[in-house]
Structure 1
């Protein structure tokens, strides 16, 4: 037969269990706005009943319960949704970088607008049309020089700004290398802390959250694969350290247990302005557009080495064609100086020498020949036979299409990530309404357990102080 004092133990366990549940609820509420926090739940189960079956214990009908215990503090997290989120997040990083590059190129080109490259080109051609007229005078020829300078300065500006943009993306690669190194070191440190705590029977939920936040950030930068190594604790498998590997290039380890990969910067080739082209190296493997397939770092490298580089090349090809074709038609003296968009300028300083043929001073054939270049479709620009206007329109149109496509892909990726994140938050996020409801539930249970102690105390008082007193 059980002791009367057993009721106190049951009530005490009830108090402790409900208090623990209230503490967990308070912890959830306090971290409602904490980045990456996963709501927790106190799992309760009945404690070992009495008596436990053996050969010598007393026989009675059934077993008597001994109360409740908090068996675990569970972190409500869905690994499948984590994997989905990280699989999509890398696309957000990639298309953010690409969209950023293309949008900035659009700003530099200032197209479409009435002050962009095409407008300046039209003004240049129109000045030659005016100087081809019989009434052309000194001021008209000066006008041609000024419009030539405007065109040259526009090409100079676009070239300079595109090269600066490429340099900026090169700097962003350097910044990402520092961020990557910091993140992998922090994950390795958390792996060590988790490995130290778990074998002692503790579940470090908050450390898991910190690590998951870092892994999410890492998944935006690179296409990664995460493997959780379980630790055996009293026959149960508990999450331990994680190993993180790159999917592309395949097999490159970022984190192995408590050991982070060596992250360094390496130089390979030159930028258009002559600066060293920087790449991130992970454990001796260079990450470039040849082996990366997705992620923010891929987006930065590809934008720098392909997207921006292509437009630098196109502007240079256009400038070279202007220098060559106009100078050939302006045979008496070179009109343009320089070799490409970086240094194109107007060579003529005397307006009287514009479209001037010493053998035929009144002849306007030079001006007409230069003006005819506007309509010519047999101009060689960058290995393509086209017209100046056709090449420029195609370049602007391609930029618009590429920007629109990058924006669309970015929005699609963000939409998919948001959908997964909403599903993840429905499981892991803290709902204040739900937590307040739980608080009331646990508070009532705590009060009831306290009332049980009072009832048992009254019973014991009767037994101790009221029994055995006869005849008084």
Structure 2
């Protein structure tokens, strides 16, 4: 027969189970507003009945139960949904970051018309046009100088604004790297605590919630995925690399990049290998700094460098009203003082590189003339050498267009004397210098004999910048210019000699007697004509194309970021709402649970009271 006091034990178990359920519901309500908290539920099961097969018992179906028992307290969580949220969150933060910074970049280009770079450049061209009409006028020369100064100031202001955004992004990268390292360490620490707790037979719900919250936060910063190999090893991956494995966390470090920006690059601290992130806040920041803002600055530098170079090319060959000639209108700062552009790039004390910006051939060419020769030219590009073929039937114009349409970082055009000019553009790879021609080679004679740039053909006659005195490969009589200091848009200014004496502004050309003819405004006309001449180096052909393209490009990228952000917000809102419906705390539901288990507690207490009365009857009242 069953124990006389078994009912007391049965009632006690019921009270304890209902107490645990009420306490758990209270814990849920207390944490209803706790970030990352998942509601918990008590898993209740019937207690094992007393049963011994070797003892005699009545032949009846079923066993007398022994009450209830709390099996575990589990959190309500959909792990597959969690993985979807972690995988998707980096895209939302990626587009959010891009949208925020493109709003700032757009503000730089949304200048009032009267102070914008474009309006100031238009006024600059107009001043030269006015000078061409009145070449003897001092007032017209003063207008040219004043408007040139206003233009250079606006260019420098735009560079400062873009560089300021780049510096702001760089500061955010440093802060975000610290956050990533901190979250990775905290996840590893949580892993260690969870393993210890499970080893003792516990179910660490709150620790699991904290780890999931940290993973959610980390997923907004970088593109991660998670992997639970077993109950003791939780892993976090990024781009195929492990960043957290169990209680071990890898860190990201910042090391100098040794370029003109002074920025750092991301590496893994333990290996020194580059750390690359394709999503999240950190991925967006690195892309904004090293691609978007860098491209905007490079485009501005390209416009500035070629603008100054083209104006100077005309001006130095013309003569001012004071009979001074040979003056550059804009001051240009060479990267090195060495006339051959020789530079010690690796810092070992030996000149090992040639920094040359422009080659000019010796022979005058006709744009519509067929070249009558064939071969393959090779130029430096972003991913190596770029091949540009030419054929017998190609015209000079066709060959030049083929060079400019290629992916090479060397562009071509004919100058005012119809000589072929090769110029370096900005470099896509941050490891390569801007405005430096790195390689020029021709298997035939277009560059060697036809245009008069190279002295020889083939690999033996190639120009390669990775050596001192590389200009020795150029044809005798060809001209070249040393590369400028980094970021010409940051320091462009009108020549001090011209500012001191505006009569030095050249409007015409010398005659046979060595003087400027009265009323000669040919040089001023040529400079004014640069505005609409297809001489722009890079993707744009004219200066007007530059302004139209940059504003359009920034606007479209800002629109793209905003549109994708709205799309990602909608996706993430649906996923988070679904998770909240599963794991979130509903106050009304928890109150209903408390009332339900309160009734169970009261019933169990009543049961114990009744059982106590029965025992009292048996012990104290039987036999009286």
TM over 0.5: yes
Change beyond 3 A, Cα 1:135–1:338:
closer
Secondary structure of 1:379's partner?
A: coil
TM-score calculated relative to the size of structure 2: 0.67
Q: Are 2:250 and 1:261 aligned?
A: yes
Residue aligning to 2:593:
438
Selected match of 2:548 from 385, 393, 397: 393
CA distance in structure 2 between the aligned counterparts of 1:208 and 1:241, rounded to whole angstroms: 13
Answering whether residue 362 of structure 2 is matched by residue 373 of structure 1, we say no
Give the aligned partner of residue 343 of structure 1. 491
Residue 395 of structure 2 corresponds to residue 240 of structure 1? no
Instruction: Please give the alpha-carbon distance, in whole angstroms, between the structure 2 residues aligned to 1:326 and 1:187.
Output: 60
Contact 1:94–1:295 (8 Å) recurs in 2: yes
Aligned to 2:224: 224
Structure 2 residue aligned with 1:403:
558
| Aligned partners of 2:42 and 2:74 also within 8 Å | yes
The 3 A distance-change label for structure 1 pair 394 and 462 is: same
Which residues in structure 2 correspond to 1:54-73 (within 5 Å)?
54-59=53-58, 61=60, 62-73=62-73
Equivalent pairs, count: 451
Contact 2:128–2:527 at 8 Å: present in 1 too? yes
Answer yes or no: is 1:412 the counterpart of 2:399.
Answer: no
- Cα distance in 1 for partners of 2:540, 2:220 equals 42
Query: Do 2:507 and 2:522's aligned partners in 1 also have CA atoms closer than 8 Å?
Result: no
Report the CA distance shift for 1:74/1:113 in structure 2 as closer, same or farther (over 3 A).
Answer: farther
- 1:277 paired with 2:269, answer no
Query: Once structures 1 and 2 are overlaid, which stretch shifts more, 68-77 or 411-420?
Result: 411-420
**SS of structure 2 residue aligned to 1:59:** coil
Residue 328 (structure 2) pairs with residue 334 (structure 1): yes
> CA-to-partner distance for each residue in 1:316-348, whole Å, 9 max, x for gaps?
011012212222344334332235211101223
Q: CA deviation at 1:137?
A: 5.6
CA shift for structure 1 position 178? 1.8
Aligned counterparts of 1:450 and 1:182: Cα–Cα separation in 2: 50
Distance in 1 between residues matched to 2:48 and 2:540, nearest whole Å: 88
Alpha-carbon distance in 2 for matches of 1:57, 1:175: 75
Q: Following the alignment from structure 1 to structure 2, what is the Cα–Cα distance between the partners of residues 259 and 158?
A: 46
Match of 2:577 in 1: 422
- Per-residue CA deviations over 1:10-59 (Å, capped at 9, x if unaligned) read 2211111111111111111111111111111111111112x324211532
Give the Cα–Cα distance (whole angstroms) in 2 for the partners of residues 178 and 96 of structure 1.
Answer: 20
Q: Give the unaligned 5+ runs of structure 1.
A: 231-238
1:33-72 correspondence runs (5 A):
33-49=33-49, 51-59=50-58, 61=60, 62-72=62-72
RMSD: 2.5
Return closer, same or farther for 1:361/1:353 CA change in 2, 3 Å cut-off. Answer: farther
Tell me if the contact between 1:95 and 1:299 (Cα under 8 Å) persists in the aligned partners.
yes
Q: Give the C-alpha shift of residue 135 in structure 1.
A: 11
Distance 1:286 1:109, change over 3 A: farther
Per-residue deviation at 1:282? 5.1
Q: Which residue of 2 aligns with 1:304?
A: 289
Give the Å deviation of 1:405: 1.3
Tell me the alpha carbon deviations over residues 107-150 of structure 1, each in whole angstroms, 9 at most, x when there is no partner. Answer: 22335866433233233333434444549965554343232122
2:122 aligned with 1:118 = no
The answer for unaligned runs of 5 or more in structure 2 is: 320-326, 334-487, 509-514
Contact 1:381-1:391 within 8 A present in 2 as well: no
CA contact (8 A) 2:136 2:518 kept: no
| Distance change in 2, residues 1:368/1:213 (3 Å) | same
Contact persistence 1:42–1:73 (CA under 8 A): yes
Q: Which moved more, 1:300-309 or 1:160-169?
A: 160-169
Relative contact order higher in (CA < 8 Å, ≥ 6 apart): 1
CA distance in 2, matches of 1:167, 1:253: 30
The Cα offsets for residues 193-242 of structure 1, whole Å up to 9 and x where unpaired, read as: 11111121110000001111111122223332322243xxxxxxxx4341
Change (3 A) 1:253 1:397: same
Asked if the contact 2:115/2:154 (under 8 Å) is kept, the reply is no
Corresponding residue SS for 1:381: coil
> How far is the alpha carbon of 1:182 from its aligned partner?
1.4
Structure number with higher helix proportion: 1
Deviation at residue 185 of structure 1 after TM alignment: 1.3
Aligned residue for 1:373, secondary structure, equals helix
- Cα distance change on mapping 1:65 and 1:338 into 2, 3 Å: same
